[in-house]
Amino acid sequence: MKEEIVEFRAGTRCSLRWGLGLALLLLPASRAAAGDREELRSSPPDVHDPGPRGGAPGAGGPLPHLADDELKLFNEGLFRATELEATCDSCSDVPPGTAIPPGSPPDTTNSAGLGGRFNSDQCVACHSHPALGGTSPATNPSFAIAGHKGATNVVPFFESLHGPTREVRFRFNEDGTRDGSVHQKFTVKGRSDAPLCQLEQPDFRAAEEKYGLAFRIPTPLFGLGLVDSIPDIEIRAHLNSHPERKARLGIHGTPNLVGNNSTIGRFGWKAQNASITVFAGEAYNVEMGITNELFPISKTEDETCNLGAEPNDVTRVDDAKFDDPREIMADWLMFSLFTRFLDAPQPVALSRSAERGFHLFEEVGCSECHVPSMKTRPAPLGPLSKALAGKTVNLFSDLVVHHMGANLADNVIQGGAGPDQFRSAPLWGVGQRLFFLHDGRTGDLQEAIRAHYSPASEAHGRDPAYPASEANQVILNYARLSSTEQQDILDFLRSL
């Protein structure tokens, strides 16, 4: 038992702290949990999140050593991600696929396919910080998107001007069965390119009471091609490593296997998608309402609102230059290639504090879930993938889902990920990130860390009983560090 308490600090904790930890383990579970919560109640006043680091973005560019054709595809994909969507080809302000002239109004459209319901009308609106391909910017784009082209939308109550943009899921259906799907925030009603559409926005206040709401913020797109190239056996090897230490810390972890071929999902907050191709096709359909070859059916089949040919965005076969894939490929597929060739975020040099913080990060147990690095497949994957082969991916994630308890539970099931299970969020790029946790509830790293603690809870209303968070012992280990040591870990995280 003594080894279990002090293992993370190799015997360097003082006897008072060791005694407290031993006493907590000897208490009945309820009393121990109460003691843990008391220990975690307040953060040391001299420990603070340094905040997003300044300077140039450490991300947003292409992978190094791309072939010429790969770089052309990356740049074309980046352009497609910046296009602003209209409801149909003939409704676009400038010909689809062309650059918007300088000085044009900010809602000038140069693409087509926007569905009757949507969250955004442009990929990079929600993936722009600290560079294109990132995540929520400092100013919430929803406040501009809501009224584009004269739309009559109001910004939902759960959005704030200086908070993250969120997507919303309804937890339950009218009959009490589970829903869990995204319900888009806006409609094209009132837009000049959809004059007949009468689709109303959902009443999110009423839906909160009736169905329950769950929120997600955008995940960064940096380095997704590298993550896509990590083999399942590499993920499983890390999952099966250090079994005795994981058991002492209460860490288990479970791959979220995709239903069609039982390979490991790795994209999305619950690792629900197995590839960036599916991730991209779903994003076009769910976030912008754009139907495509992967998701050809609109969630809102209304001819007065979905004005383009269905599916909206497919491989081009008319008037295409068949010797140029940049002219043939659909926008969603070009977007997937942009993310495939988008480089990982780069850390800064470690200060002395951050260097100490890295060692403490490993010692308290954070690295058992936030695995510092994995390897991609050693051999080239094909003519488009040599820049991805045999690379070390410094993602700080194990890419599997863990029980996080009631405090972080969203009561949404996706594949094999249950109501309180989430993928270990990759920490690369955290140094410049503005919002944390799946719902963006905080911009403070210290608060985000402490939110990982959650005791077991009983069923209540429509919430099932939740187990204790797998992070509990690690968070207690962190809380028992000195103020200086906690600060070192925060300084390390802001270096990533």
**Identity (one letter) of the amino acid at 233?**
I
What does the alpha-carbon distance between residue 290 and residue 305 come to, in Å, rounded to a whole number? Answer: 12
CA 43 vs CA 429, 447, 481: distances in Å: 24, 9, 11
* DSSP class per residue in 235-273: HHHHHTSSHHHHHHHT---B--B-TTT-PBP-BSTT--B
Residue 421 amino acid letter = Q
pLDDT of residue 42: 67
Q: What are the two backbone dihedrals, phi and then psi, of residue 190, each rounded to the nearest 5 degrees?
A: 90, -15
At 290, list the tokens: 């754009």
CA pair distance 164, 441, nearest whole angstrom: 9
Confidence (pLDDT) at 37: 65
Pairing assessment for the beta strands 401-403 and 421-423 based on DSSP bridges: antiparallel
Q: Any idea which of 188-197, 229-238, 297-306, 320-329 has the lowest mean pLDDT?
A: 320-329
Tell me: pLDDT of 476 over 70: yes
Query: Over the stretch 400-420, which tens digit does the pLDDT of each residue have?
Result: 999 999 999 999 999 999 999
Other CB atoms within 10 A of residue 62 CB: 18
Query: Encoding tokens for residue 48?
Result: 């603070």
Q: Say if residues 192 and 149 touch (Cβ distance below 8 Å).
A: yes
Give the predicted TM-score (pTM) of the model.
Answer: 0.90
pLDDT at 495: 98
Looking at the chain, the number of H-run helices and the number of E-run strands are 17, 10
Element of type H or E holding 170: strand 167-170
352: pLDDT strictly greater than 50: yes
| Residue 130 preceded by cis peptide, ω within 30 | yes
**pLDDT for position 266:** 97
As a whole number, the mean pLDDT across the chain is 90
The mean-pLDDT minimum among 266-270, 335-339, 376-380, 479-483 falls in 376-380
What does the pLDDT look like over 5-52, one tens digit per residue? 323 233 333 322 323 333 333 334 455 566 666 667 667 889 999 999
Instruction: Give the per-residue pLDDT at 8.
Output: 29
State the pLDDT at residue 35.
62
Domain boundaries, the chain: 2-56+231-265+351-493, 60-229+273-344
Which residues have a Cβ under 8 Å from the Cβ of 414 and sit 6 or more positions away?
A: 180, 256, 268, 270, 272
User: Pseudo-torsion of CA 124, 126, 132, 137, nearest 10°?
Assistant: 140
Encode pLDDT of 248-265 as tens digits. 999 999 999 998 899 999
Q: What is the dihedral of CA 236, 239, 243, 249, to 10 degrees?
A: -170
